[in-house]
Amino acid sequence: MKVHCFHLFAIFAVERHVHERVSSGRSMQEPMLRLNGVNENLQIRVETSLRGADSPEKVIQALVGLFPEFSVSDEILNPQLGSASNTELSNEGVSLETFLKKLHEQRILDTALDSMSLLLENNQTKFRLSRQAAIVGKVAFPLPNEEPLGGVITVTLSGEHLSDWLVAATWHKGRDVIPRSIADESAMDSDGDSVTWI
Locate the domains of the chain by residue range: 36-176
Per-residue pLDDT of the chain (198 residues; tens, 9 = 90+): 444 443 333 344 334 344 443 333 333 344 455 899 999 999 999 999 998 878 889 999 999 999 999 998 777 766 666 566 678 999 999 999 999 999 999 999 999 999 999 999 999 999 999 999 999 999 999 988 888 888 999 999 999 999 999 999 999 888 877 777 786 665 655 555 554 444
**Candidate CATH numbers 3.40.630.30, 3.40.50.720, 3.40.50.1220, 3.30.1440.10; the one for domain 36-176:** 3.30.1440.10
Question: What distance in Å separates the CA atoms of residue 178 and residue 83, rounded to the nearest whole number?
Answer: 53
Residue ranges of alpha helices (H) inside 82-188 are: 97-106, 109-117, 131-134, 162-169
For the entire predicted model, the pTM comes to: 0.75
